Amino acid sequence: MGRGCRRTPDKLLPGIDIENLSLLHCCNGFLLFEHSCNIKTFEYVVCNPATEQLVAVPRSPLQKNMDCDWFGNTNFLMFDPVVSLHFHLIQFWNSFQLSVAAVHIFSSETGVWSDRASEWKAGEEGGEWARWGESSDILCVTDGTLFNNMLHFIVCPVNGSNGDDMIVAVDRKGETCRIIPWRENFSYPHFVGQSQGQLFCLTVGVPQKSELSIWVLEEYDTEEWSLKHRVSFLKLFGKVSCRENYDYAVVAIHPNCNLIFFFDRRCRKLISYDMDSEEVHALCTLRVAGTHK
């Protein structure tokens, strides 16, 4: 995968400091970091903690030639050791005029970025942009998940525009393979994951925001969701109403059992919730980066 890293507290590779790394995404044991220094050379680092190997990924072509029309990007890591030992990065770019308007793909096999602008056709009728990028924004406060060999992530309407929330699935080439509308009334999705061979979606009811609902896509081809479980925020976090990514964050769903992991931001604890036993357990307290607390 790359050069091995040394077991030292402050260095991973020459020129990479832990303090300058931010975790963006993870997939099947691989970690994607953004590097805030030396971005003229590379901006991302992909790490395999099991083998202590790292790959430095250069900036994408759009980042090198960015103008004032672009205001940010969302990055996902795709890695499935059953399919290939190579990984891919998928980078979606937002513009002030076109919402999600560009897609770039990095392959560790070729070591270069590819631009899907011709297929994306931003600002034009037809093409993938018109299918979901025109008036939508990627819900980047959550991770995407790899399911059926495709990356699934949540997109939502921009600035109150008409349309449903949806789950979009893309392949390693960045091609949109499936769009699954979210039509359940009085709830909105904010986390998608996979467990036990099924796609899961966690939603919050509105306007109360007092409980979390766990849905499962029983049959992938039908696009019909079934309610699997409900749990109150009072039981999870001791608070009647909670805001996602402010009071708490969904960390992951266990791949082999009905267990969900959360980060309680108020007390900085990692907790687990068992849907079968309905038990909540505090696992550990996470310290703030750069401190010993």
| pLDDT tens figures, 47-86 | 888 888 888 888 887 655 555 465 567 889 999 999 989 9
Quick one: tokens of 48?
């395999």
User: What digits encode the pLDDT tens for the residues 90-121?
Assistant: 988 776 665 666 788 999 999 999 887 666 65
Q: What is the 3-state secondary structure (H, E, C) of 190-221?
A: EEEEEECCEEEEEEEECCCCCEEEEEEEEECC
Sort strands 99-107 and 88-95 into parallel, antiparallel or unpaired: antiparallel
Segment of 36-45, 222-231, 283-292 carrying the highest mean pLDDT: 222-231
**Taking 70 as the threshold, does the pLDDT of residue 15 lie above it?**
no
| Confidence (pLDDT) at 118 | 66
Compute CA distances 3 → 11, 30, 68, 114, whole Å. Answer: 13, 15, 36, 24
The pTM of the full predicted model, rounded to 2 decimals, is 0.82
Report residue 118: phi and psi, to 5°.
-65, -35
| Confidence (pLDDT) at 283 | 94
Which of 7-11, 119-123, 158-162 is predicted with the least confidence, judged by mean pLDDT? Answer: 7-11
Q: Is 62 within 8 Å of 130 (Cβ atoms)?
A: no
What confidence category does residue 222 fall into, taking pLDDT thresholds of 50, 70 and 90? confident
| Confidence (pLDDT) at 162 | 60
Please name which of 156, 108, 114, 106 lies closest in space to residue 135, comparing C-alpha atoms.
Answer: 156
Q: Is 95 within 8 Å of 50 (Cβ atoms)?
A: no
Length of the chain: 293
Report residue 128: phi and psi, to 5°.
-75, -30
How far is it, in rounded angstroms, from Cα 63 to Cα 287?
A: 32
Please name which of 113, 109, 2 lies closest in space to residue 56, comparing C-alpha atoms.
Answer: 2
Compute CA distances 36 → 19, 41, 59, 74, 105, whole Å. Answer: 9, 11, 11, 16, 20
Please name which of 58, 129, 147 lies closest in space to residue 92, comparing C-alpha atoms.
Answer: 129
